[in-house]
């Protein structure tokens, strides 16, 4: 049964690169590996009949050495689903983010994902203007704000793959610490963050 989906809301990521992370220019990351935590607050969303409004989602990606989007680079992924989500919502989030339901995550899953864990965790996501603060169980602690450049203006990065407009704001983390299952352990505080509104769909 075909199911169309659409989700939109707030988004923030924080990685090990300096400001701004070069993966969107298909260049090798700092230290040649990517360790990134991503978090979404879905304000409005649906997957078929399932309402996804209000659901929070987290993700960890750790890559092998090399350019993140090079076809040969393999990723290990952890999907973190809000414990307040019901079963249908949890399945929907898994389908979407693990690339089983089309959209940009489908080619990613097909091309890159070597391992994918799913965990249900408490997620505390808050946004105040361009300041983001996300706590995901014992797994992610992430605080990030927009990076302000000349004329006190927030920088914009385009094209960025994770929103329909292809535009996100440049940012910097104050905290970006991750701990999951011994395999995903990093503290990349004070480095790159991309943040802003997001909108994704599969049609």
Partner 1 sequence: METDDSFRERITRRRVPIVALVAYVIALGAWTAVVGRWLPMPGGATDAPMQPSEPGVPEAMALSNGPSGIALYLFMWGVMMIAMMYPSSVPLFRLYAETLAGTTTAGKAARVGAFLGTYALVWTLTGVVPLALNALVPIAGLANDHGGFLMGGSLLLLSVYQLSPYKYRCLRYCRSPLGFLMTHHRPGVRGAVRMSGEFAVFCIGCCWALFAFMVIVGSMNIIWMALIAVALSLERTVTWGEQLARVIGLLAGITGCTVVALSVI
Site for partner 1, rule CB under 8 A: 1-5, 24, 26, 69-71, 91, 95, 99-104, 106-108, 110-112, 159-161, 164, 166, 201-203
Q: Rounded to whole angstroms, what are the CA distances from 197 to 25, 92, 162, 194?
A: 20, 21, 10, 10
Cis peptide before 112 (omega within 30 of 0): no
Closer CB to partner 1, residue 126 or residue 164? 164
* Cβ neighbours of 114 (radius 10 Å): 12
Shortest distance, position 147 Cβ to partner 1, whole Å: 21
> Least distance to partner 1 from the beta carbon of 2, Å?
5
Nearer to partner 1, 191 or 202 (CB): 202
Contact indicator for 164, 151 with CB cutoff of 8 Å:
no
Smallest gap from residue 65 Cβ to partner 1 (A) = 16
The distance of closest approach from Cβ of residue 84 to partner 1 in the complex, given in angstroms and rounded to an integer, is: 21
> Omega into 20 within 30° of 0, i.e. cis?
yes
Nearer to partner 1, 105 or 184 (CB): 105
Nearest to 61 by CA among 73, 78, 80: 78
Which CB, 13 or 135, lies closer to partner 1? 13
Closer by beta carbon to partner 1, 67 or else 78: 67
As to burial, measured by CB atoms within 10 angstroms (0-12 exposed, 13-18 middle, 19+ buried), residue 117 is middle
Find the shortest distance in angstroms from Cβ 104 to partner 1. Answer: 5
DSSP, collapsed to helix, strand or coil, labels residue 21 as coil
């Amino acid at each position: 049964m075909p199911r169309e989906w659409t989700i939109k809301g707030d988004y923030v990521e924080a990685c090990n690169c300096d400001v701004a992370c070069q993966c969107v220019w298909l260049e090798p990351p700092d230290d040649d590996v990517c360790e990134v935590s991503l978090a979404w607050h879905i304000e409005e969303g649906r997957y078929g009949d399932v309402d996804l409004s209000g659901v929070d989602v987290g993700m960890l990606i750790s890559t092998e050495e090399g350019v993140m989007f090079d076809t040969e680079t393999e990723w290990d992924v952890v999907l973190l689903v809000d414990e307040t989500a019901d079963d249908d919502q949890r399945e929907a989030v898994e389908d979407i983010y693990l690339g089983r339901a089309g959209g940009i995550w489908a080619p990613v899953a097909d091309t890159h994902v070597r391992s994918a864990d799913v965990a249900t965790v408490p997620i505390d996501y808050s946004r105040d203007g361009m300041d983001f603060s996300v706590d995901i169980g014992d797994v992610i602690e992430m605080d990030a704000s927009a990076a302000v450049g000349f004329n006190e203006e927030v920088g914009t990065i385009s094209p960025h793959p994770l929103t329909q407009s292809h535009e996100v704001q440049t940012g910097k983390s104050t905290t970006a610490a991750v701990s999951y299952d011994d395999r995903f352990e990093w503290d990349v505080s004070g480095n790159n963050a991309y943040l802003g509104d997001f909108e994704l769909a599969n049609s």
